[in-house]
Amino acid sequence: MNATIVTIGDEILIGQIVDTNSVSIAKRLNNIGITIFEKLSIGDSREVIVSTIERAMNNSKVVIITGGLGPTKDDITKHTLANMFGSRLVYNDTEGEHVRQLLARRGIEFTELNRGQAMLPECCTVLHNAHGTAPGMWFDTPKGGVVVSLPGVPFEMEHLMEDEVIPRLKARFELQSIVHRTLITRGIPESLLAARIEAWEDALPKHLHLAYLPAPNVVRLRLSAYDVDKEQATTEIEAQFDKLRNLIGDNIVGYEGSTLEALVHDILIQRGKTLAVAESCTGGAIASKFTAMAGASNYFLGGVVAYANEAKRDILGVSMDDIECFGAVSEVVALEMAEGVRRITGADYAIATTGIAGPTGGSKQKPVGTVWMAIATPEGSRAVMRNSGTDRGQIISRASAYAIEMLYEEIKNNTNK
Amino acid sequence: MNATIVTIGDEILIGQIVDTNSVSIAKRLNNIGITIFEKLSIGDSREVIVSTIERAMNNSKVVIITGGLGPTKDDITKHTLANMFGSRLVYNDTEGEHVRQLLARRGIEFTELNRGQAMLPECCTVLHNAHGTAPGMWFDTPKGGVVVSLPGVPFEMEHLMEDEVIPRLKARFELQSIVHRTLITRGIPESLLAARIEAWEDALPKHLHLAYLPAPNVVRLRLSAYDVDKEQATTEIEAQFDKLRNLIGDNIVGYEGSTLEALVHDILIQRGKTLAVAESCTGGAIASKFTAMAGASNYFLGGVVAYANEAKRDILGVSMDDIECFGAVSEVVALEMAEGVRRITGADYAIATTGIAGPTGGSKQKPVGTVWMAIATPEGSRAVMRNSGTDRGQIISRASAYAIEMLYEEIKNNTNK
């Protein structure tokens, strides 16, 4: 079972927004056993929309479209689809009333443009959008396929997929399963890893597909099986992963989309230990990675973003003499920050960062990208320096990752801690 | 001048990664006057790669491909392209030596697989990848177009685009300009905004394209002109925006990709005022929005992520009696947090958040999504409560946006402050 995902909107083609809709749709379709054949993004042009959807219907039983359903003149998806399926637009009382009430609750006047949002192709099944003013549309195609049009607002699209589209697809088609399992390795470069596991890779059964997903210091290995029985494929993949554990066990750090911060999160909750962070150059990025995860309040006591030197001194108790003598970006200050936040929060573990995120502030001795990271534990503290690149965003994200990695290394094996 | 962007990799089709490469490529091509006709993502399948590139070459003079150039067996882009262009792979000494040295610097052994990365189609122009082991490839097509293949690692791709691809495209084609300008409005819903500016919209010259980009509480209006003289089109768009200022001036809050935090950033720097934040439920998200911007150290003194009640008390001086009496999520505590962080940092302005990000912790009186936001200024402090949705990520992002909006409202007009 194949699907094509089409996102419509010039804002995608000019790079004004990052398309996350197709990511979420792809995941949901994969979950119910539908393989994505192709994802594409096209502009708000009638001819392109028509030719794209016609081609997509030839390639895939299911075509999911997002975007172009708003009330304004640049939104042409609905009219184009009505034309394509030879259907006229008729006013839908239920949807019209819903839009009127939704706007009334927000204190917004119901205009002719809003009325237009309840004008829907006669031939489609209307998918009620409880969270917005643009309903979704489900078209059955002559060849037994389905074309679904959804609004581009991510939140509205998500609810429509979950509540209206997925249940209908499951009822409509006999679906097999797709199974993906991803294993995360650290410490072996991709090419050496490939050499180490070559015999294993060559012996994989044909229906298990291996992918290498390299990132700095991490290579993820994904095994995928399409159109299979879920339990059987999962067991089979697990057995293959068991073999890998024998080959590269020490380098395996986790599974399935789990990030290092998620692993730390799990370990801290499991052991009943607590964490605090003190951030200078990462500016809250580390705190927000942890607090983004449900359950963080079980271990995350607090964080201090000590950007100004006075904040380092007044909140964390860093010595101003040390800042003057060694600089704010130094081993001494990183250690005092970690120890300071550990002391004031009473946390078991603390990590700290201080560095030069740029673009200005660098010097010959300490160029932009220089970051000191420290960890303070019940047993003591230590710091390391890493150069984290040249781009501000990259420096913040790498320094955050390194600091979390220090913590992970500290706690991963020590079950007494 | 049209281009098609093709990203290759099953990880994109199954929703395992968000494709940001095509966003960055689209922006860079737009900057030099090349319009994106279509963006598409396909899997690691030989036939699909071939048919997609053939179709893309029919639609566009320029085809940019990313992904599938790694050293492992699932990387098939290079062999597929060599086949398509009827070329054999030959060992490239320069690139081979570069890969060997790059790996040596990282202390990694040079294997047969790495050697394979320097095997390149004889017919292509090799694009040197200074930052990685997979070179880019530039193919001239028989019909006078160009197919470029780049590695999927974002950092490597960026450098190759900037240093190798863009200069070659500018030299190769006579390019006109594309101009996009975006204006940000607040406080008018999309449908009412469209009604207010209808006459203006209808009178726009044919070559200026208007797009509405709605988001919660904000509608962005973009005017785009393709294949034009840059200066002339910019002047023309500015003149149209002048007319809009007469119609909806009070609702215009900024231009071109500027976020509210960027506006606050500019105002604070301009007036020499300082900021501190105290975050509970937003967990560092607000601090990291500000500190992500270059120059934040001019005004951002610090932040406290006071997640545990003890951290609210010990770092910010929030009264434990008040927490017990009113709850951590309350007007009183929000105010004490804002005032506390303002006091300990000495900042001119402080904002604070305390709320229930979920998924647990809600009650009938205070359901998940309840967030109190406070602002403390030289003139006093105040707090508001907003319900910010039901999803943890959404609650964090909305509450951050509301708190920043409070600050923006406070400082936008008051030039004395």
- Do the Cβ atoms of B13 and A27 come within 8 Å? no
Given a cut of 90, whether residue B46 has pLDDT beyond it is yes
Gap between the Cα atoms of A36 and B15, Å rounded: 9
Task: With a threshold of 0.90, tell me whether the complex ipTM lies above it.
Answer: no
- Work out the average pLDDT over A149-175: 94
Any chain A CB within 8 A of the CB of B14?
Answer: yes
Nearest C-alpha in A relative to B71: A191
Pairing of strands B300-306, A300-306: antiparallel
Residues of B in contact with A194 (CB under 8 A): 71-73, 113
Choose the closest CB to A11 out of B52, B211, B361.
B211
Any chain B CB within 8 A of the CB of A47?
Answer: no
pLDDT tens, A175-224? Answer: 999 998 999 898 888 888 999 999 999 999 999 999 998 876 789 899 99
Choose the closest CB to B194 out of A22, A72, A213.
A72
Highest mean pLDDT range out of A3-7, A151-155, B16-20, B116-120?
A: A3-7
The separation between CA B31 and the C-alpha centre of its own chain, rounded to angstroms, equals 16
Nearest C-alpha in B relative to A397: B292
Q: Which residues 304-363 on chain B approach chain A with CB closer than 8 angstroms?
A: 304-308, 310-311, 314-315, 344-346, 357-361
- Do the Cβ atoms of B301 and A287 come within 8 Å? no
Torsion on CA atoms A41, A43, A47, A52, rounded to nearest 10: 0
Q: Which residues 77-96 on chain B approach chain A with CB closer than 8 angstroms?
A: none
Using pLDDT thresholds of 50, 70 and 90, give the confidence band for residue B73. confident
Highest mean pLDDT range out of A180-194, A376-390, B91-105, B345-359?
A: B345-359
Residues of A in contact with B300 (CB under 8 A): 283, 305, 307-308
Given a cut of 90, whether residue A107 has pLDDT beyond it is no
Any chain A CB within 8 A of the CB of B187?
Answer: no
Highest mean pLDDT range out of A104-118, A278-292, B13-27?
A: A278-292
Given a cut of 60, whether residue B417 has pLDDT beyond it is no
Using pLDDT thresholds of 50, 70 and 90, give the confidence band for residue B118. very high
Class of domain A260-411: alpha beta
- Work out the average pLDDT over A64-68: 96
- Do the Cβ atoms of B25 and A15 come within 8 Å? yes
Please name the residue that has the structure tokens 């909140």.
Answer: A315
How much of chain A, in percent, has pLDDT values that exceed 70? 98
Any chain A CB within 8 A of the CB of B255?
Answer: no
Choose the closest CB to B291 out of A114, A189, A283.
A283
Burial class (CB in 10 A: 0-12, 13-18, 19+), B187: middle
Any chain A CB within 8 A of the CB of B134?
Answer: no
Given a cut of 70, whether residue B308 has pLDDT beyond it is yes
pLDDT value of position B409: 85
- Do the Cβ atoms of B11 and A290 come within 8 Å? no
Nearest C-alpha in A relative to B44: A211
Choose the closest CB to A10 out of B224, B287, B307.
B224
Class of domain A2-172: alpha beta
pLDDT value of position B28: 94
Q: Using CA of residue B387, residue B389, residue B393, residue B398, what is the dihedral sign?
A: negative
C-alpha distances in Å from residue A44, one per residue of A7, A138, B210: 10, 20, 11
Query: And the tokens for B177?
Result: 């300009």
Smallest CA–CA distance, residue A201 to chain B, in Å, is 9
Task: Tell me where in chain A the CATH 3.90.950.20 domain(s) lie.
Answer: 260-411
Residue to mutate among B5, B7, B14, B28, with most A CBs inside 10 A, is: B14
Using pLDDT thresholds of 50, 70 and 90, give the confidence band for residue B258. low
pLDDT value of position A154: 87
Gap between the Cα atoms of B231 and B239, Å rounded: 12
pLDDT value of position A358: 87
- Work out the average pLDDT over B172-184: 91
Smallest CA–CA distance, residue B304 to chain A, in Å, is 4
**B85-109 in b/e burial notation, b at 16+ Cβ within 10 A?**
bebeeeebeebbebbbebbeeeebe
Q: How many CA atoms lie within 13 A of A350 on its CB side?
A: 29
Residue A6: phi and psi, rounded to 5, are: -120, 120
- Do the Cβ atoms of B300 and A307 come within 8 Å? yes
Choose the closest CB to A39 out of B40, B133, B302.
B40
Highest mean pLDDT range out of A160-164, B176-180, B360-364?
A: A160-164
- Do the Cβ atoms of A315 and B360 come within 8 Å? no
- Do the Cβ atoms of B302 and A308 come within 8 Å? yes
Choose the closest CB to A192 out of B109, B190, B279.
B109
A215 compared with A167, residue with greater pLDDT? A167
- Work out the average pLDDT over A6-17: 91
- Do the Cβ atoms of B307 and A291 come within 8 Å? yes
- Do the Cβ atoms of B283 and A292 come within 8 Å? yes
Query: And the tokens for B26?
Result: 């689209």
Smallest CA–CA distance, residue B21 to chain A, in Å, is 10
Pick from B309, B299, B399: nearest CA to B352? B399
- Do the Cβ atoms of B40 and A41 come within 8 Å? yes
Gap between the Cα atoms of B134 and B119, Å rounded: 10
Residues of B in contact with A102 (CB under 8 A): none
B132 compared with A77, residue with greater pLDDT? A77
Residues of B in contact with A359 (CB under 8 A): 294
- Do the Cβ atoms of B191 and A13 come within 8 Å? no
Mean pLDDT of chain B: 92
pLDDT value of position B389: 72
Task: Tell me where in chain A the CATH 3.40.980.10 domain(s) lie.
Answer: 2-172
- Work out the average pLDDT over B80-103: 94
Contact B304, A302 (CB under 8 A): yes
Any chain B CB within 8 A of the CB of A247?
Answer: no
- Work out the average pLDDT over A91-110: 89
Residue to mutate among A191, A275, A279, with most B CBs inside 10 A, is: A191
Please name the residue that has the structure tokens 């105040």.
Answer: B382
Highest mean pLDDT range out of B166-170, B192-196, B262-266?
A: B166-170
Gap between the Cα atoms of B226 and A171, Å rounded: 45
Given a cut of 70, whether residue A415 has pLDDT beyond it is no
Gap between the Cα atoms of A367 and B76, Å rounded: 39
Task: Tell me where in chain A the CATH 3.30.70.2860 domain(s) lie.
Answer: 177-255
- Do the Cβ atoms of A36 and B14 come within 8 Å? yes
Any chain A CB within 8 A of the CB of B25?
Answer: yes
Nearest C-alpha in B relative to A151: B214
Choose the closest CB to B26 out of A13, A20, A276.
A13
Any chain B CB within 8 A of the CB of A31?
Answer: no
pLDDT value of position A258: 61
Choose the closest CB to B71 out of A41, A191, A222.
A191
- Do the Cβ atoms of B18 and A14 come within 8 Å? no
Pick from A43, A67, A64: nearest CA to A53? A64
Q: Which CATH number fits domain A177-255: 3.20.20.120, 3.30.70.2860, 3.40.50.300, 3.30.1310.10?
A: 3.30.70.2860
